[in-house]
Chains A and B, each alone.
Chain A
């Protein structure tokens, strides 16, 4: 098992947000997480990637045999976890290029690998730029500053391509993308798939899942996974909404 989440609970202040999440992800799999606004999807992504605003109050998470929750945010990334943010941050004065060079080399150092030289880095960048069809000029600008919503999302996937994570969590990467961009980004994500890595896709819409076809679909509601199924669960949700799931959850 690559990722095992066992009864994970987390809160902000005295507000409980995650209230016992269980989820297992194997290498090679794609899991979709859906659920109404405010149900805790982004919080789950934040807790998995080590954001300190959330206090873990119970449960544990194992990632490739390691106790994930005991690692710092940077060490989780170095172990191979990547989050494509729902709302990427703008950072004036830091270019994507410089940022990626620093990140990549710190990750390589952690793994006991040589730093990439300028030529190798550039070659890798060129290759990955092509994959998500992102323009060089965008990457030499300040990170996300003044980027359109779609450009920010594309930049997230570019970064994912650069860092080649073992587990990628895509938090509503489809929101803000036009139809063509959605296809390009989704195709890019598919090209990055290997039997050794896994993807968790957080989304509200079936259209992304038409491209990135999930092996499992989970519904998160009020901090718990209340229903899991195959890809047809997403189609069902598209058709019927969440009311029936909420009713089922209330009945338990």
Chain B
């Protein structure tokens, strides 16, 4: 599919992309006006996570291929009519007519849905999947997303998700970003959390070329709860940018955000956390924290909280830190016979585990722990 005109992607003159020159990188490596053709069948099963008792959706180059028959999954053509979409969303719509709608109705038993984005092909491997998910009242689901590049050239995943939680819904959203070193991702995700719903997000980034996560949570009902957790543990030249928004539109709600980072080699991370508390949103509790351990002089972190508060009766806090591994702790461990590498990984592990403490699903938790463990053992 071709676009009539090229969409202008935000370059480094755009404030929110100042530290993440993804437009430049994409222009260098891809022709964004076309999309990879669907290819011959591909053996992706061995690359899926070892989980049982879960539902799978598999997209190949942005098109849903596995999971179409699930009763609450619908594929529809969708022309974008909304205004004010960001450039990557526009690009997604311009290249992809399919929207995959997932609606989990009230009364559905708790479950887990794994969504895989397989990217494959010889050149210009780009995928623009688009998902709209709604979690019905009182449902309890966990959604996991993971990209799998099986191409022999760089890949670009530009995925769009809009998610709504009905009152009393409990939803956990896990993104595992551990793809190849030449994979690029932009993930635009918007969550709308209704009254008394409870939302948890976990974003684990361990590898890739450049990843931009725009994750925004709109609290549209009172007494809702949103917990945003993130961990990036990066080496090489991996660049991960998390732009998050917690937007309180209704009163008596809680948002709690904890993003932690470990940066080795020449890796780069950007964290930008916005908190909005609208005038109606009295008695809001909004907390945010971003903590980083920098393992190399060549690694960089740009971290910035942004608070805009129009209500007067609110509790808000934010903080960010960047430092090295604690020397005293390192010596203490080594003085007991623990090697420098192992001591590092113990301390990094201790630093990181907090992020996933509330992830209670056993199977998913061990998958996450294993990826993390592997990452921390090699980063140290």
Contact = CB atoms under 8 A, between A and B. Distances in A.
Interface string A73-100: 1101110001101001101111000111
A23 B207 CA distance: 52
Contacts of A102: 338, 342, 346
Interface size classification for chain A: 20 to 34
A223 interface: no
Contact of B351 (A72, A93, A99, A104): A93
A99 B354 contact: no
Max chain B CB contacts within 10 Å: which of A50, A89, A92, A106?
A89
B200 to A, nearest CB: 21
Contacts of B351: 93
B337 A77 contact: yes
A99 B331 contact: no
B1 to A, nearest CB: 49
Contact of A106 (B328, B337, B349): B337
Nearest to A88: B332
Contacts of A91: 329, 332-333, 347, 350
Given A51-B331, A89-B328, A102-B342, A107 B337 contact: yes
Contact of A73 (B326, B331, B342, B354): B331
A163 B336 contact: yes
B347 A94 contact: yes
Interface in B348-364: 349-351, 353-354
A93 B349 contact: yes
Contacts of B328: 89
A173 interface: no
A92 B343 CA distance: 13
A46 B87 CA distance: 58
A73 B335 contact: yes
Interface in A79-137: 82-83, 85, 88-89, 91-94, 98-100, 102-104, 106-107, 110
Interface of A: 49-53, 72-74, 76-78, 82-83, 85, 88-89, 91-94, 98-100, 102-104, 106-107, 110, 142, 159, 163
10 contacts: A76-B335, A77-B334, A88-B332, A93-B350, A94-B350, A98-B346, A99-B338, A103-B338, A106-B338, A107-B337
